[in-house]
Amino acid sequence: MSGSVIHFLILNINESKKYNILKQLDYIIVGQGLAGTLLAYLLMKAGQKIILIDSDLDMTASKVAAGIINPVTGRRIVKSWRVDEFLPIAKSIYQNIEQIFNISIYKNIEICKAIRTVEEENEWLLRAGYPAYQAYCGQEPPDMRHFETKIHPFHAFATILQAAQVDVPQLISFFKSHFNQNNILLKESFDYDDLEILENEVQYRGFLKAKKIIFCEGAGGAKNPFFEHLPFNLDKGELLKIKIPNAPFDKIFKNHLSIVPLDAAQNLYWVGATNEWKFTHPYPTDIQKQLIINELNTILTVPFEVIAHQAAIRPTVKDRRPFIGLHPNFPVLAIFNGFGTKGTSLIPFWAAHFTDVLLHQQKLDSEVNIHRFYSK
């Protein structure tokens, strides 16, 4: 890859610490989940010098995500928020990453939605008839040949179009290696007490200084003392990875849960996820595991094997809009967080928008601006 495509800062971190040398950066990014990764990618592509700080926890929302992009959701079949704007940008950015780095992370895939009742079918047909929904609601039922004899009968099935699947764990892993190779990733927990806030810059641990620091901490952002007023509404989700022998499903099957192909050749699938708004710990539980298994038994007629059981906490927001923007009292502090269950489709658009805000003085969209919580 040519240096003209992305400009990297080559920094010997250990030497900087040893000699207490302040390294001048444009941005420090805290968190290397999907939000921090894509924001870092776009800022570097624009020629900015950055460093990421990440504790590299195993069970984060990005690392266990199925990476589904679903344009219509819910029992009432409602278009996702501003989906007409978000989908083209998401596809463009993910495919741009594929082309530049020669990796495969993005694929178009249909969602086969199970319809249980006549009422649900009528709701689907009503929505599918609206011009604004016709690009997303298939007029014909899905091809069910791969599901035949493997699932219980349902009243009907519908096709959700323009869906996609992003291999988020692979994307995170690839960029982790890439950032490491270019010496711009610190693997450690961020210490808020070591951050010095100055008028026009921040300094961290005596060897990093930057014009701004951007917190992309996911669920960890709820404990950030600089943004503790923001109304995080954390949501714990649990999922299973299973094997379904001789079941090469070529679509995402969606009922109350989703069955998502991970490696159809190996009969490996992602199943989930649950939602739990009140929880006492971040770890998988037998109760939620059994709930998923019970739901699977209402869908599948064939045996399956549980390969893994995982859990993670999603950074959801009470008003279902992300937290983006500069701290009102300390504009050298910024946050890019709160993307919840739809991060795969939301983050590319907002990372591009926030990059324009930071570098080109574009006005931050009021729907996501954190100042909406300060003016109340």
Contact 155, 121 (CB under 8 A): yes
* End residue of a domain, out of 287, 314, 341: 314
Beta strand segments in the chain, E? 23-30, 50-54, 68-69, 72-73, 78-79, 106-108, 111-115, 156-160, 164-166, 185-187, 195-197, 202-204, 208-215, 235-243, 252-254, 258-263, 268-272, 305-314, 323-326, 333-337
Residue 53 lies in a domain: yes
Tens-digit pLDDT profile for residues 195-241 = 999 999 999 998 899 999 999 999 999 999 999 999 999 999 999 99
298 and 257 fall within a common domain: yes
245 and 269 fall within a common domain: yes
324 and 358 fall within a common domain: yes
188 and 225 fall within a common domain: yes
pLDDT score of 76: 79
Residues 6 or more apart in contact with residue 314 via CB below 8 angstroms: 61, 218, 219, 234, 235, 236, 237, 340, 341
pLDDT score of 318: 86
Least confident of 1-5, 339-343, 361-365: 1-5
Two structure tokens written together for 98: 């594929």
Look at residue 46 and give its three-state secondary structure.
coil
Least confident of 14-28, 223-237, 259-273, 348-362: 14-28
176 and 310 fall within a common domain: no
Contact 354, 336 (CB under 8 A): yes
Residue 22 lies in a domain: yes
**Helix locations, the chain, DSSP H:** 13-19, 34-45, 61-64, 83-101, 118-128, 168-181, 286-299, 343-360
Residue 6 has pLDDT above 50, yes or no: no
Residue 94 lies in a domain: no
Domain extent for 190? 13-63+169-230+319-373
241 and 299 fall within a common domain: yes
144 and 180 fall within a common domain: no
pLDDT score of 249: 92
Two structure tokens written together for 27: 């941005």
Neighbours of 191 (CB within 10 A): 10
Q: Which CATH number belongs to the domain containing residue 327 in this structure?
A: 3.50.50.60
* End residue of a domain, out of 290, 314, 338: 314
23 and 144 fall within a common domain: no
* End residue of a domain, out of 299, 314, 329: 314
Residue 257 lies in a domain: yes
146 and 50 fall within a common domain: no
Residue 269 lies in a domain: yes
Residue 86 lies in a domain: no
Structural domains in the chain (count): 2
26 and 151 fall within a common domain: no
Q: Which CATH number belongs to the domain containing residue 155 in this structure?
A: 3.30.9.10
Residue 78 lies in a domain: no
For the chain, what percent of residues have pLDDT higher than 70?
94
158 and 217 fall within a common domain: no
pLDDT score of 7: 39
217 and 246 fall within a common domain: no
Residue 75 lies in a domain: no
CA pseudo-torsion sign 126, 127, 133, 134: negative
What pLDDT band is residue 375 in, cutting at 50, 70 and 90? low
pLDDT score of 210: 97
